[in-house]
Amino acid sequence: DSGVTQTPKHLITATGQRVTLRCSPRSGDLSVYWYQQSLDQGLQFLIQYYNGEERAKGNILERFSAQQFPDLHSELNLSSLELGDSALYFCASSVSYLALGVENTEAFFGQGTRLTVV
């Protein structure tokens, strides 16, 4: 158990709809990273928040948004969903404000939310 909690585990929704994915980081971690994993794209970085502020942005679509709340949990909002948005969405947390892979920035990943758009 990584200590990172993601809900829901599975989500099935129709095209055009909007969903919210939730992530609770490990106790004490200030950074939250969101990743999308689809079969043909591997793990793609979406966005990072550190202590409530947006820290870095990756390949996140304009239809997607995220925020981190004062209690440090984070939500990823996906709107106007398309079939191609079907993927596993992972949240990771770290004590560091730096990117994954930087010295001593070990991140802990949740179990993911599997989103299926039909």
Q: Is 27 in the site for another protein (CB under 8 A)?
A: no
What is the rounded distance in angstroms from the CA atom of residue 11 to the CA atom of residue 21? 9
State which of positions 58-87 bind another protein (CB under 8 A): 58-59
Strand 5-7: give its sheet, edge to edge.
5-7, 19-24, 74-78, 64-68
By CB under 8 A, name the one of 74, 90, 115, 117 that touches another protein: 90
Please tell me whether residue 10 adopts helix, strand or coil conformation: strand
The residue (of 61 and 98) whose beta carbon lies closer to another protein is 98
Q: Which of 70, 29, 33 shows the shortest CA–CA distance to 49?
A: 33
In the range 34-63, which residues lie near another protein by CB under 8 A? 35, 42-45, 48, 55-56, 58-59
Q: What does the block give as tokens for 57?
A: 């942005």
Residues lying near another protein in the complex (CB under 8 A) are found at 2, 4, 33, 35, 42-45, 48, 55-56, 58-59, 88, 90, 92, 98-104, 106-112, 114
